[in-house]
Amino acid sequence: MANKIELLRRGELAVITIQNPPYNTLSAEVLGELPLALEAVKIDTSVKVVIITGRGLFSAGADVKDIWRIVQKHDMKEALDLLAKANATLDSIEDLGKPTVAVIDGMCLGGGNELAMACTARIATEDSRFGQPEINLGIMPGMGGTQRLSRLIELEPALRILLSGTLITAKDAFGLGMIDKVVPKKSIQSEAKNFASLVLSGQGIIRNRRVFDLAQFREILSGDAFGHIIDSKSKDAVESIVKAVESGMVKPLSDALKLEQELFAKLIMKDSAKRGLAKFLKIDLEPKKTEAKVLKDDTSDKEDDLRMFRDMVREFAEKEIRPLASKMEVEGRMSRDLFRKMGEQGFYAASFPEEYGGADLGKMAYCIVFEELARAYGSSAVVVGAHTGLACGSIYLGGNEAQKQKYLVPALEGKLMGAFALTEPSAGSDSGNIKTTAVRKNGGWVINGAKRFITNGKDADFTIVIAQTDPMLKKDGLVAFIVETKWPGYNVGKIEHKLGIRGSQTVELSFQDLFVPDENLLGEVGKAFKLFMKTLNGGRLGLAAGCVGSSKRAFEIAYEHSSERVQFDQPLLMNQAIQFYLARMRANIYLMEEATYNAARMADAGKDIRLEAACVKLQCSEMNMWNVDHALQILGGDGYSDESEISRIWRDGRINPIFEGTNEIQQLLIFKEIFTSGGKI
C-alpha cells in the first residue's frame, strides 16, 4: 500500500505532503504516518522551516467512515482515543520548534482546516475553499476548530462558520485573517517557497490577540441572522458548539481542546448525530423488510389513464400548438389564450395530487406532457416547464397550505402564470453567489437586485424569487419568495434575443425596494437551496422527456426526407451511411425513453432520484443534439435553411445541455453520488 504521507527535504526546507486521494481525508493511516514525518523534521537540525500541503487538494477533513464505525460501536473510549491521537498530531505541529506553513490548494475543510490553523502561517490559491462543515452532518469539530478558529479571527464570523457549516473563498478567508496570503494557482509553488522564507525570518505574519467577550458572544447568538442559522441545524450540534466556544474561550487552549474532544465524543453518541452521519454516507438506518424489497409500481394501475392522457396531449399539440409555431417564433412569446387552454386541458395539473385539482398521475404524466409538447414545438415545453416544473413545483414542495390554495391551485388551472427567478449576472451554476438581497423590514422583506434569463418573467402573474439574506452564508443564506409581479418594485428589463426557443420569452428582471409580506416567504430562511435543488430534480426529468420528443420528431423528419429525396437514381434511404445514422438515432431514442420513464417511475415510487435525474438530463440532452444534428445532416441544404423545421429543432436543442443545470454541473452531481456511495453501482 502506498504511503499516505510523503516527506521531501530540500536544504533548510522540508515539505510534508498528504496523499490520500481523492479528498486527502485525515484517515487513521494519515494520522499514523504524519507524526512520524513531523518527528523526522524535528530532529533534523538542517531543516529550518516546514511546508505542509496536500496532493491535488489540501484536505477535506476527517474520514467520516472512521467516525461512523465508532458511532456504530457506541464506544465513547474509542472516540476519545481517536480524538486524542488526532489532536496530538496537531499539538506536535505547534510544538515542532520550527515554523510551519500550510500551503493550501483546493478544499481545506473540517479537520483539514483545523490542521492548517495549527500551522504558523497559511498561504492559499485563489480557488481554495475553507470551512467547518461538521454541523451539516449533525456533529461538531473535534480537532480544535471551535477553539483555534475563535482565537484566530473575530468572534462573529467564527461563529457563522462553525454554526452554518458554510464554505468561504480564499479571498474571504484572507479578509477574516484565517490565511496570510492568496496567490494565483499557477504560481503557488514558487510563492510558497518565498513565503516560507519570510516566515522563517519572522516576517509576513501579523496576529491580533483575541479577547473573549461573553456579553458580545450572547448578543451575537441572539440576533435574527443567527436565529435563522441555528433553527436550520441539529439542536444537539448547535448546543455542543456553543458550549465549546462559551466555556472553552475562557480556558487555556490545552484545556479548551480537551473540552471540545469530550463534547465531540458525547455528541456523536446521540441519535441526531447518527442520523446526520448516516444521511451523508447514504446508509439506511431502517432497512426495509425482506418482503418489501420489491416496490409496487404505482403507475401499473394507471397505464390506461396515462395512455389516454398521452393521446390527448399529442392531439392537442398537433392541432393547437404546431400550427402556431411560426407565429410564436416571430412574436417571441406564447399567447395567454394558448397557455390558458393547456391549463383547461389539465396539462399542468396532471402530475399533482387531486386535492389541488390534479389527476395524481405523477412524474410519468409530467414527462408525457414535455415529450409531446417538445415533439410539436420546443418553445411550448419551455414555457410550461418554467410554469409547472419550477414555479408550481416550488410551491408544491415548499409552500404552506394557504400559499397552495392562493397560488398553486389557480396556476394549475391555467388562470395564473408562474416564473422562476434564480439566475443572475454573477450567479448561474454558482447559486451561492446570488447578489439579490432580502432584508427583514416591517413584517416582511425588502428585495433589491437583478435576475437574468428568466422565462415567463414578463407575462407571469407571480415569480419565485431566490434572494440572499447573508452573503457570507452563501447557499445556506438563501431564501425563496412568491412575488406577485404587479407589486411595486418588480421591473422587467431587456427581452433576450436567443439562438433558439424563441417562442418562449426570456427577460431580465430588477427589484428596487420590492416589499414582500411574511406570508409570501416560501419555506424556511436558509432552506431555499435545498428547495430549488429538489425542484430541479423534477425539472430535469421534464427536460429529458422533452429531448425524447424532440429526437422523435427529428427522426420522423429525417426518415421522411431520406425516403423521398432521390440521388444517384435511388432514395437517400438506400445509402448505408444514411441507414447507419437512422439506426443510431433510433437506438439513442430507445435508451433515452427507457431511462427517462424509468426515473419517473422511481420518483413516483417515492425514491430519491437525484442521481437518475442528473444522468438522464446529461445523456438525453447530448444524445438529442447528436440525433438532431445528424437529422439536419441528412437533410443537407434543406435542413440548413432557416425556414426548415429541423433547423428550428437544432437551434432549440442547443439550450438543453445548458439550462436546468449545465451538463458540467450534472457530471459533478453524478460524481458526488459516486463518491458518497464508495463507488458502488
- What are the catalytic residues? 660
Residue 349 makes CB contacts below 8 A (sequence gap 6+) with 343, 356, 357, 358, 359, 412, 413
For strand 100-104 and strand 121-125, is the pairing parallel, antiparallel, or unpaired?
parallel
C-alpha cell at position 4: 499516505
Beta bridge partners of 101: 51, 121
Q: How many CB atoms lie within 10 A of CB 246?
A: 16
Please answer whether residues 43 and 103 qualify as being in contact, where contact means their C-beta atoms are separated by less than 8 angstroms: no
- Count CB neighbours of 615 within 10 A: 21
Residue matched to cell numbers 392531439: 315
Task: Give just the sign of the alpha carbon dihedral 601, 607, 613, 616.
Answer: negative
Q: Where are the alpha helices (DSSP H) in 269-418?
A: 271-281, 303-316, 325-331, 336-345, 362-376, 378-384, 393-398, 401-403, 409-412
**Burial, 558: exposed, middle or buried (Cβ in 10 Å; 0-12, 13-18, 19+)?**
buried
What DSSP line would sit under 214-264, residue for residue? HHHHHHHHHSHHHHHHHHTS-HHHHHHHHHHHHHHTTS-HHHHHHHHHHHH
Q: How far is CA 535 from CA 389, 538, 604, in A?
A: 7, 6, 15
* Contacting residues for 321 by C-beta, under 8 A, at least 6 apart: 338, 373, 376, 377, 380
Specify the DSSP element, H or E, that contains 16: strand 13-18
d(CA 523, CA 534): 13
Crossing angle of helices 528-564 and 362-376, rounded to 10°: 50
Please count the helices (runs of H) and the strands (runs of E) in the chain: 27, 19
Cell reading at 98: 520550527
Collapsing DSSP to helix, strand or coil, 329 comes out as helix
* Amino acid (one-letter) located at 126: E
Q: What are phi and psi of 402, to 5 degrees?
A: -65, -40
Distance CA(193)–CA(196), nearest Å, equals: 5
**Terminal CA-CA length for the chain:** 25
* Cis, bond preceding 22 (omega within 30 deg of 0): yes
